[in-house]
Structure 1
Amino acid sequence: MALIRFVLQSVVEILVLPVTILSYIGIWDPLYKRFFPYLMVKITSAINDKLGKIKKELFDKLPDFASSSGLSILEVGCGSGANFQYYPWGCKVICTDPNPNFERFLKKSIAQNEHVKIARFIVASGEDLSQVASGSVDAVVCTLVLCTVQDIDMVVKEALRVLRPGGAFFFIEHVVADKTTWLHFFQHVIQPAWRYFGDGCCVTRDTWKNLEKANFSELNLKHIIAPFKWSLISCHIIGYGIK
């Protein structure tokens, strides 16, 4: 089976060789980052249709972590603002994303979700939130982002830094399937192409291990199967960790 997987992976790598070359010479990434927000607006709408109930149940816990001055949230990889509709009334949100091309779509979501107060939009990766002061927010939200970052541990470390004591890191992330399944097999086969068309997305990460070894005082994490038919990203983890 390992040999078959290697052969199929090699075939996929050959098929995407032109994209690999474009990426290597620095052409693919700038062009795709301009196109990607348009794609994600469509995708996130479909994701919310499937995960809306799950998001609502999770984010209904956000007010539990509000401080005396109200609830302040830092969203890592905010994209087009797909989570705004699930945030509680009157919360203050700092938005970060490494792709500045999302800002125009973010403004549209802000206009549609007047119950949320957007403090600012910061162009930054999750690994470097230096523009946000330590211990300054009540909650950090990260949904379908840890699949694309370069260093999961560093993102979580930065999240813990900006959280106040007792604050919480909320997450919904797709992860690699169980090793005994065909889904696990096909995730590894398609990954050489997936990373280019998913803006660096990796479907083979066991992200829960990074969260389990992080310095949370309490971690509430569960594995679920998202209602995506025939999807490579049906396996998810959801929950929150408390600083």
Structure 2
Amino acid sequence: MAFLMRLCMLVVNVLCLPLHVLEAVGLYKIYKRVFPLCVYRISVNYNKKMYDKKRELFLTLPEFNKAGGQMTILEIGCGSGTNFGFYPPGCKVICTDPNPHFQKYLKKSMGENDHLTYERFVVASGEDMGSVEDESVDVVVCTLVLCSVNNIPQTLREAHRILRPGGAFYFIEHVVADPSSWAYFFQHVLQPAWYYFGDGCEVTRATWKHLEAAGFSDLKLRHIEAPLFFVIKPHIIGYAVK
């Protein structure tokens, strides 16, 4: 199995040579203008299939409004704003994403979710949110983002830094499958092509290990099988308390 997987990975890598060249010469950046449209369309279907899971998770958000006033939520990699509909009325939302081309779709989602107050949109990666003050937000939300950041531990350190004491980091992420499964096999075989389709997305990450090592005081994490394409069926969902 291992030999066959490596052989298939090699074949896919060879087939991806034109994409490797495009990235090497900088032309792949053009896709970043198109990617927000792809995400916007895909996320509509994702929200339909994951509605119950998202609703159940985000129903617990008010527990972290300790001050009893306006809750502040910062979303890392907000994309087109597909989580906004799950946030409690009256929340203040800070949006961050490294891709500025999401703003068009972000504004559309903001208009459809006027139960929230939108403070600002920050063009920043999850690893570097220096414009956000220490201990300044109640909740950090990160969904389908840790699969594509360059440095998961640093992203989690940044989330920990900007959370007030007792605040929570909410996550929903697809992860690597069990090594004995065919999903694991195809995740690794398809990864070279998936990387380009997903703008840096990696389906072979054991993200839960980074969350367990991130130094949060409490971690509520579940492994689930999402009703999605088999390569991204394995998910983790939950929250971590600072």
Shorter-chain-normalised TM-score: which range? over 0.9
User: Could you tell me which residue of structure 2 aligns to residue 70 of structure 1?
Assistant: 70
Unaligned ranges ≥5, structure 2: none
User: Could you tell me which residue of structure 2 aligns to residue 167 of structure 1?
Assistant: 167
**Distance in structure 2 (CA, Å) of the matches to 1:157 and 1:62:** 21
1:83-94 equivalence runs, <5 A: 83-94=83-94
User: Could you tell me which residue of structure 2 aligns to residue 109 of structure 1?
Assistant: 109
**Distance in structure 2 (CA, Å) of the matches to 1:193 and 1:122:** 29
| Residues 1:35 and 2:34 aligned together | yes
How far the C-alpha of 1:10 sits from its partner, in A, is 0.8
Which deviations, in whole Å up to 9, do the C-alpha atoms of 1:136-166 show, x marking residues without a partner?
0000000000000000000000000000000
User: Could you tell me which residue of structure 2 aligns to residue 214 of structure 1?
Assistant: 214
How far the C-alpha of 1:68 sits from its partner, in A, is 3.0
User: Could you tell me which residue of structure 1 aligns to residue 240 of structure 2?
Assistant: 241
SS of corresponding position for 2:184? helix
**Distance in structure 2 (CA, Å) of the matches to 1:2 and 1:178:** 14
How far the C-alpha of 1:3 sits from its partner, in A, is 1.2
SS of corresponding position for 1:236? strand
Which deviations, in whole Å up to 9, do the C-alpha atoms of 1:161-205 show, x marking residues without a partner?
000000000000000000110100110000011101100000000
User: Could you tell me which residue of structure 2 aligns to residue 23 of structure 1?
Assistant: 23
SS of corresponding position for 1:188? helix
Structure 1 letter corresponding to 2:123:
V
Which deviations, in whole Å up to 9, do the C-alpha atoms of 1:7-39 show, x marking residues without a partner?
1011101111101100001111x2110000000
**Distance in structure 2 (CA, Å) of the matches to 1:143 and 1:74:** 12
**Distance in structure 1 (CA, Å) of the matches to 2:55 and 2:115:** 15
How far the C-alpha of 1:69 sits from its partner, in A, is 2.5
**Structure 1 outlier segments of 4+, above 6 Å:** none
User: Could you tell me which residue of structure 2 aligns to residue 200 of structure 1?
Assistant: 200
**Distance in structure 2 (CA, Å) of the matches to 1:231 and 1:50:** 14
How far the C-alpha of 1:116 sits from its partner, in A, is 1.1
**Distance in structure 1 (CA, Å) of the matches to 2:2 and 2:230:** 22
- Name the Cα RMSD after superposition: 0.7
SS of corresponding position for 1:176? coil
User: Could you tell me which residue of structure 2 aligns to residue 51 of structure 1?
Assistant: 50
Which deviations, in whole Å up to 9, do the C-alpha atoms of 1:65-100 show, x marking residues without a partner?
013332100000000000000110010000000000
**Distance in structure 2 (CA, Å) of the matches to 1:166 and 1:190:** 40
Which deviations, in whole Å up to 9, do the C-alpha atoms of 1:39-79 show, x marking residues without a partner?
00110001001111111110111111013332100000000
How far the C-alpha of 1:2 sits from its partner, in A, is 1.3
TM-score of the superposition, structure 2-length normalised?
A: 0.98
Which deviations, in whole Å up to 9, do the C-alpha atoms of 1:98-145 show, x marking residues without a partner?
000001110000000000111000000000010100000000000000
**Distance in structure 2 (CA, Å) of the matches to 1:118 and 1:88:** 13
User: Could you tell me which residue of structure 1 aligns to residue 132 of structure 2?
Assistant: 132
**Distance in structure 1 (CA, Å) of the matches to 2:7 and 2:218:** 43
Identity of aligned residues (%): 56
Range with greater deviation from structure 2 (230-239 or 90-99): 230-239
